[in-house]
Amino acid sequence: MNQSAGLFPVATRIIRKQRVDAVYTDTRHSFPDGVSMMKTNLWAYPIFLISLATVMLPRQVLARCPLYSQAVNDSNSVIMLGGTARGHIRQFVVGEFGKDVDLQKRMLGQFDRCGALTVADIFYDKREGNVILSMAQHLEQVNGEGWLAEYQMSVRVQRDGREVEVNNKQGMINYLVGIHGNIISASDTFTNMGNKGFTETTYRHDKQFHLINSVARGSDVQSNGEYYYRWNQRGQMLSMTSTQSKEAYTYDKQGRELQLNSVSHRAGGLLTTINECQLWDETGNCTLSYSSEIEVSDAGTLKRHAGAAYRFDYWDKTPTPAN
């Protein structure tokens, strides 16, 4: 995958694109209506990671990769997966479970020899209080011209002994790339409780093809917003900031991701999360992380803890950059 920065952030962010924040007055709990894509946390209850089937290229085949493929892949990975990882990754799997909250998340993906994402699947289920949130997304590369993602999100509440669906959003996101392969725009067409809608997002990059800005506009006000991204000289993400939230990363001297701190302002409340990596593989990618989350609202204070396990498989040969 030829990525440089940390893990798929210490937790994987589900569908960063779909800011679907759904806050319901009949429950003291609020949930992101698009639970931002990758920041997963998983607690070390027994974790069973599912290996992906792999189609190996012949050993004598070496990919001829674009000159700026690393920065392009890093930026594309942030947009579609919510973070980056180190080394020439062939496939990965992430599992997350809650310690004191009923939460399960799985993420699986594959990359070609030049580090471009070819396919990924994300599943997310959470039950808290009387609210049940389920999400799923399938993402795949389309003829080398971009990516197509299909997603579905459902929010249900327990009322009078039965589940009642209060929100259902499903749609398709078309990611378009420029001449260098970096994503320059995304079109999200969806139905939300039967009502059709859209969100158009544009992306700007610096001269090194690192993502620096994204602007989303459309019929779903929860999805609209502007984000700014900062990177260090190693090509690692330092922060992602909007008017409502901020995420900041720290690394050790070896360039391994140590911690991700995030603060998010929500309607009537504040959510603070700390994700810390505990173990790394030989490449420097995190294989185990713990998270702690505090949500403060008019209804009171909620504390949540979770943990995530990660497995990375790598290509056996280093791609040769094209001249």
Q: Residues 6 or more apart from 25 whose CB is under 8 A from it? A: none
End-to-end Cα, the chain, rounded Å: 19
Predicted pLDDT of residue 322: 54
Predicted pLDDT of residue 74: 96
> Considering the chain, what percentage of its residues have pLDDT values greater than 70?
78
Per-residue pLDDT, averaged over 235-256, amounts to 96
Q: Does residue 295 have a pLDDT over 70?
A: yes
- C-alpha distance from residue 220 to each of 34, 123, 224, 242 (Å): 11, 23, 7, 17
Helix (H) or strand (E) holding 30: strand 30-31
Rounded CA separation 226/302 (Å): 28
Predicted pLDDT of residue 235: 93
Q: Residues 6 or more apart from 272 whose CB is under 8 A from it? A: 261, 262, 263, 264, 293, 294, 295, 296
* pLDDT category of residue 222 using cuts at 50, 70 and 90: confident
Contact 32, 15 (CB under 8 A): no
Question: pLDDT by residue (tens digit) across 29-54?
Answer: 333 333 333 333 322 223 333 333 33
Q: Which has the minimum average pLDDT: 8-12, 92-96, 124-128, 278-282?
A: 8-12
Q: Does residue 247 have a pLDDT over 90?
A: yes
Helix, strand, coil % over all residues of the chain, rounded to 5: 5, 55, 40
Q: How crowded is the C-beta side of 206, counted as CA atoms within 13 Å?
A: 13
Q: Does residue 28 have a pLDDT over 70?
A: no
Q: Does residue 171 have a pLDDT over 70?
A: yes
Question: pLDDT by residue (tens digit) across 179-188?
Answer: 999 999 999 9
**Considering only CA atoms, which of 35, 30, 31, 42 is closest in space to residue 15?**
35
- C-alpha distance from residue 259 to each of 203, 249, 263 (Å): 26, 6, 14
Rounded CA separation 89/92 (Å): 7
Per-residue pLDDT, averaged over 262-288, amounts to 94
Question: pLDDT by residue (tens digit) across 111-127?
Answer: 999 999 999 999 999 99
Q: What mean pLDDT value characterizes the chain?
A: 82
Question: pLDDT by residue (tens digit) across 45-101?
Answer: 233 333 333 333 333 334 488 888 999 999 999 999 999 999 999 999 999 999 999
* pLDDT category of residue 10 using cuts at 50, 70 and 90: very low
